[in-house]
Amino acid sequence: MDLFKKFKEYTQKVNEIEYSISNNKKEFIEIYERNLALEKEIVQRTQELDQANKAFLTLKHVWELMNSSEPLSSVLQKLVNSLHGEMGYINSTILQVCDDEKGKYYKVKAFSESPILKKITEYLKEKNIDIHEYHLKYDKKMFVTKAIEEKSILHTTEYLEVINSLLYDFKSEYIDSINKLGVSKSVICIPLYPSNKPFGVMMIFSPREDVTDKELNFLTLFGNQVEMAITIANLFENLKKEAVTDSLTELYNRRYFNQALQKEAERAMRLHQPFSIISLDLDYLKKINDTYGHFFGDLAIRTIADILKKNARSIDVPARLGGEEFSVLLPGVDSSGAMIAAERIRAAIEAQELDTIGHITASLGVGTFPEHSIKLDELLDMTDQAMYKSKINGRNRVTLAKTAEDEAEWHEVAFGAFMDILTKQKVPIPDKIAKEVTSKLKAINTAETKDTIFSVADTLAQTYNSHYKRGLTKEKVSLAIELGRKMEMTKEDIDKLKIAMLLYDIGKLMIPEEILNKKEPLTEEEKKQIKEHPLIAARKILKPISTIADIVPIIEAHHENWDGTGYPQQLSGESIPISSQIILLIDAYFALIQNRPYRVARTKDEALEIIKLESGKKWNEKLVDEFIGLMNEHKQSKQQQS
């Protein structure tokens, strides 16, 4: 009985143990299964976190690029590389929709390296075609185009069909070799609409057949960032373009042309190579504006700009310098080549017929480094002189600049005049200054003639005007040359004007300093002495110098007024040499903007207003109009350079 009872108790305990073990087993299995699920979730979350981190780094890279000022092509290339490298895609390619006379096509803007692109590039190299210049097929039925048309991200596993549709003119054997690569499982097309304007599409070649919602969300965000990067890069490009281009013609402006010219001169000097400049001026622009209106004047200017673009090589620099003036820099071209290029441009302009206006023409000049000069200022001046000679000789023609030896004649005349004045003591100059200046003149060589003569003129002016700034003579002469051209003076007359500008005030050396610097009103006797200085300069100082006999009448009349109220002979109108009027105008302008013992300096704008009030009285009206226009051009040029 006891044994049976004990057995029963033992059996019950065994059952309890078995039940306990069974329950624990279930609990262990549940814990094990929960651990497995947790480990799987941890792996999945880790992968997601890694993917999110890569996405974040990629978007961070995009943001950094967006805030750079790099060219658009460079920005896009870095973007596709980042997506390719950091997100594990096989290839990323950005295609831009382009348009020409044959219709729309796709153009590769950027791509990351991949076996497919390598094959395509190899084939194009055999045909001497750069992949960025190759025209890919555009068709509304194509998968790529549908993404753009529908403005939505599209995904397909038929990636070979997408590639083959773009490579419409590839040979079948090349298509087969590309298809055999089999490196991708699907392609994702993301439309790009920067500033809500269709730009193109970004194609993502993926190693996976499927695409997750999270992946699509990331690519949507990435696409948005790319669109913003394109917008910002385009903005930088436009700002840089506006800084160096003319708004009316989209040619380079004066500032860029001068910079390019300086660089080319340094290159040409280093490599011992020539370069040429074509100076071009539209004929009769004022007549076009007056007859047909400024709209047609602008049309004529844009037409010339288009012709310059069409006739320019990739290394040439066509520029609009202002108004109807253009220049073209031709690197590596000698004078004979430049003359051929200039004649081609001239003929193209003449052949172009415009609405309402009809045919237009242009006058051109050609100058070459180092044939005509190795100094840029001188080369530009000589090229302009050649262009101006084309105008004088009937317009619609090309003229080659004279050699430096021919052009130097006026320097020699001025040099001889100064030497005569100084060595023969025709003016009361302190001996020390006379010897210093004479020594400087005797020491110059041909290349230094101009600068030395200007310096001598400055020194002499400072003996009777202590406020006279060094460099002012050169500035006055340059302005006189420009104004002379505006007034269509001949080359010979402009040369005379240059010499007259150097010598016109020499008579003031004979006037007592106390009169010139007097703050109080002048007496009648003192006024008489002031009015006599043109005659003193012309007849007592300069007339005995035979080489400048034709300069004397210009200086003698440089204080005559247009209405006959000037001095010393009360000449009026056309009886006053135009060179004399130019000297009077430029002298008055610089006098107004400088301090005087009896008044403070006026601003440049104030000086122009005063001159304008005297138009038709003191000066020829046309001369005043051209002068004010010229000064406004100078003002605009300085604003562009600042």
Quick one: which of 386, 246, 242, 388 has its CA closest to 309?
A: 246
Could you state, in order of their start, the residue ranges of all structural domains in the chain?
A: 72-243, 262-401, 408-641
411 falls in which pLDDT band (50, 70, 90)? confident
Residue 118 CB coordination number (10 Å): 13
493 vs 30, higher pLDDT: 493
Tell me the one-letter amino acid at 252: Y
Q: Is the pLDDT of residue 302 over 90?
A: yes
Domain 408-641 in the same topology as domain 72-243: no
178 falls in which pLDDT band (50, 70, 90)? confident
Tell me the one-letter amino acid at 538: A
Provide the pLDDT for residue 408: 44
Q: Is the pLDDT of residue 49 over 50?
A: no
CATH of domain 72-243: 3.30.450.40
Provide the β-strand partners of residue 278. Answer: 328, 366
Alpha carbon distance 337, 588 (integer Å): 44
635 falls in which pLDDT band (50, 70, 90)? confident
Residue pLDDT, tens place only, 560-607: 999 999 888 899 999 999 999 999 999 899 989 887 766 788 999 999
Quick one: which of 485, 298, 301 has its CA closest to 387?
A: 485
Tell me the one-letter amino acid at 515: I
Contact by Cβ (8 Å): 50, 56:
no
CATH of domain 262-401: 3.30.70.270
397 vs 170, higher pLDDT: 397
381 falls in which pLDDT band (50, 70, 90)? confident
Alpha carbon distance 148, 154 (integer Å): 9
Residue 268 CB coordination number (10 Å): 17
Provide the pLDDT for residue 7: 57
Average pLDDT over residues 449-463: 78
Q: What is the pairing mode between strands 103-111 and 91-100?
A: antiparallel
Q: Is the pLDDT of residue 164 over 90?
A: no
Name the DSSP class of 523: P
Provide the pLDDT for residue 549: 81
Residue pLDDT, tens place only, 508-519: 665 556 555 556
Q: What percent of the chain has pLDDT over 70?
A: 76
Name the pTM for this structure. Answer: 0.49
In sequence order, what E strands does 392-476 have?
398-400
Residue pLDDT, tens place only, 81-92: 877 655 678 888
Residue pLDDT, tens place only, 335-373: 999 999 999 999 999 999 998 999 999 999 999 999 998
- How are strands ordered across the β-sheet holding 362-369? 317-322, 325-331, 275-282, 362-369, 398-400
Alpha carbon distance 500, 534 (integer Å): 12
Helix, strand and coil content of the chain, in percent to the nearest 5, comes to 60, 10, 25
Q: What is the CA radius of gyration of the chain?
A: 40
Average pLDDT over residues 288-316: 94
386 vs 66, higher pLDDT: 386
Q: Is the pLDDT of residue 313 over 70?
A: yes
Q: What percent of the chain has pLDDT over 90?
A: 34
Average pLDDT over residues 545-561: 85
User: Is 408-641 CATH 1.10.3210.10?
Assistant: yes
Average pLDDT over residues 42-59: 52
Average pLDDT over residues 65-81: 69
Mean pLDDT lowest among 63-77, 121-135, 343-357, 453-467: 63-77
SS (H, E, C) 590-614: HHHCCCECCECCCCHHHHHHHHHHC
Q: Is the pLDDT of residue 100 over 50?
A: yes
Mean pLDDT lowest among 106-120, 228-242, 255-269, 546-560: 228-242
> Please, what is the angle between helix 578-592 and helix 472-486, to 10°?
140
Average pLDDT over residues 544-567: 86
Q: Is the pLDDT of residue 4 over 80?
A: no
299 falls in which pLDDT band (50, 70, 90)? very high
Residue pLDDT, tens place only, 113-140: 877 778 888 888 888 888 888 888 999 9
Q: Is the pLDDT of residue 486 over 70?
A: yes
Residue 83: in which H helix or E strand, if any? helix 72-87
